[in-house]
Chain A
Amino acid sequence: MLAAVLTLAVPAFAAGLGLAWAARRLPSDEQPLVERIDAILPQTQCAQCGYPGCRPYARAIADGEADINQCPPGGEQTIRELAVLLGRDPVRLDPARGSEPEPRVAFIREDDCIGCARCLPACPVDAIVGAPRYLHTVIEHECTGCELCLEPCPVDCIDLLPVRAPRDVR
């Protein structure tokens, strides 16, 4: 009787210890949750979710601080994918955050730009080139259309234009 119990208990205990050690020490195959959430987000870095960028928002979702419906640029699609990843029910986009926008890019009207350089630090992806008292311009294919550069501009010389068809999809 005791022999039988020991025969099962001892290897089971040893295996348990082994697994516990492995779980602690070996790197897991799966990406951390934050990474996987971040991969779903559109990377617009627009901060409309209330967090300063997509990654901070991903962290907030992972920590249970934020709901999954706070990303207007991602829209329904992103909410659906997040819901699948996190095993939750899809919810409506939070209307307080704005509505799902058309993809757009910022464009600086060169005639009106005064070269104040205030839009430069506002850009989350460094897509504006310029220097004080020099003309600024937006790198079209790097701009995410987040609108964060509109607010600091003192002369309102930045427009958001519809995205042109990708140069070469293939």
Chain B
Amino acid sequence: MTAPTEGLSRLHGGLRLPSHKARSTANPIREVAVPPRLIMPLGRRPGAAARPLVAPGDRVARGQRIAAGHASVSANVHAGSSGVVTAIRAHPVPGRGGAAEVPCILVDTDGEDRPHPGCRPLPRAVTDDPAALAGAVEAAGILGLGGAAYPTAPKLAEGLGRGLQGLILNGAECEPCISCDDRLMRERAADIVAGARLMLTILGIRECLVAVESDKPEAWQAMKAALADAAEDIRLIQLPTVYPSGGEDQLVKLLTGREVPSGGLPTDVGYLVHNVGTAEAVARLAATGEPLISRVVTMTGEGIAAPGNYRVRLGTPMAAVARAAGGYTEEAACLIMGGPMTGVSLPHDDFPVVGSTNCLLFTRERPAESPEPERPCIRCGECARVCPVRLQPQQLFRHTRPADEEALALLGLDDCIECGCCDLVCPSHIPLTRSFRGAKATLQLKAHERRKAERARQRFEARERRLRERRDAARERQDDVRRQAGADAIREILARRHAGRPDEGSDGDGD
């Protein structure tokens, strides 16, 4: 096996982390049975949530659209199995910022798992036509399955007409513990390649790079075999196993040597990055007509009895997935959605599996949060050496307490990808990433307040101007009358008016 790692750019910083993946990669992907109740979130952002198309009491079938997405911010939602809609109400849903109450459609499943008649394989006429195919991807509500769960259709549309050079399929999976992409590449390599071809059709380009980290030799072999007869320009590239090489911008830098500008997107340098799981979902849609109703979730950690990868219907409660994975062990103390570096800690397991649930980690303690007490910064600069974005975490940290907006903006707080490398190397155990996350939220809130104040100022000034103009116009009219009739005439008119309405004004009271 020759791995073309040479010719790759170097990533600044990063860490070689113990991968802890062997625990979950031993067994093939297993199917989790449909739970008695599915919880389908309509979107975390108020005002941008999907619009329900069903009402409580309606019967739904597997793959039936039950909510319509909102432009580019939320995707269509499809029923994970057949059953009856019991309620549409708020339910806790996990997300990047932690848990939140989000409107959800609750479906009580009937165990039949009856497919919706509309779910049919896409005909050639659709798979060959870029626009029709893009429409089908949008209709199927496919989300990026790497972890951010951004809707796939608008992301693909973003790459159109921008002189795109290539598509990058992200199979790096650099974060420890997570192995869902690894197993998927081993087992469904052909589907991933088919999905990549479909994406290339939509984008109207031919070049595709598939990036796999060097610690996944089996996945690499499987992908290589699937690509053996590839007519297109699909190349497999092996990455050195360094965290966070799988970050979107980091991956582009590694593969192409081009740096995504601050605040920009990979499309700004001619590349579009999609996860291998997303490609598989697109292939699944084309082959079976099934919209996005399931994903592969890595169940791992000391706290779970049968670690491994499981295909789970979206909306399945995490507790049900844990039961399917052998249940909890005595050691289970903490639940993290995502990996140990970027995951979010969840307070309990009464959450549905959502598009961004790539991994559920049941640990003894949260690895990223060291139990050691925080000590003052000694300016060793270790954090700056490992920062993949080349920020100065120690400087940033100094300006987060209290948040000094200007300094933070100057130091590039917005470019922080919250990878957690600085936390891990800090000898003083300072929770750097957490403070950066907090500072980002504070700055966003401040910016929101500033925007609001600016709008209020404009509205106030517009009103002042309007009142002034109205006053001026009235005075002008008066002047006109004065010019035409003379001041005496006005006095006469006013006197007549007072006389006509004796009860108004102080003059009338005196009588």
Could you tell me which A residues sit within 8 Å of B by CB distance? 38, 41-45, 53-55, 124-127, 141-142, 144, 166-170
Contact = CB atoms under 8 A, between A and B. Distances in A.
Interface string B446-466: 001000111111011111100
Instruction: State the main secondary structure of chain B at its contact with A.
Output: helix
B441 interface: yes
B45 A53 contact: no
B461 A124 contact: no
Contact of A54 (B48, B441, B444, B457): B457
Contact of A126 (B45, B46, B453, B463): B463
B467 to A, nearest CB: 9
Contacts of B455: 142
B42 to A, nearest CB: 15
Contacts of A42: 453
A125 B454 CA distance: 11
B371 interface: no
B500 interface: no
Contacts of B463: 124-126
A127 B455 CA distance: 11
A126 B459 contact: yes
Interface residues of B, number: 20
Interface in B425-444: 441, 444
B444 A144 contact: no
B457 A43 contact: yes
Instruction: State the main secondary structure of chain A at its contact with B.
Output: loop
A142 B448 contact: no
Contact of B448 (A38, A55, A169): A169
A125 B48 contact: no
A141 B47 CA distance: 13
Nearest to A40: B453
Interface of B: 45-48, 441, 444-445, 448, 452-457, 459-464
27 contacts: A38-B457, A41-B453, A42-B453, A43-B457, A43-B460, A44-B456, A45-B460, A53-B464, A54-B460, A55-B457, A55-B460, A55-B461, A124-B460, A124-B463, A125-B456, A126-B459, A126-B462, A141-B452, A142-B455, A142-B456, A166-B445, A167-B45, A167-B47, A168-B45, A168-B47, A168-B48, A169-B441
Contact of A45 (B47, B448, B456): B456
A42 B451 CA distance: 11
Nearest to B445: A169
A13 B402 CA distance: 49
A126 to B, nearest CB: 5
A53 B459 CA distance: 12
A38 B453 CA distance: 10
Nearest to B449: A42
A141 B454 CA distance: 12
Contacts of A126: 459, 462-463
Given A166-B445, A168-B46, A170-B444, A142 B457 contact: no
Contacts of B457: 38, 43, 54-55
A142 B45 contact: no
Given A43-B456, A125-B459, A167-B45, 4 more contacts: A43-B452, A55-B457, A142-B456, A170-B444
A43 B454 contact: yes
Nearest to B447: A169
Contacts of B46: 167-168
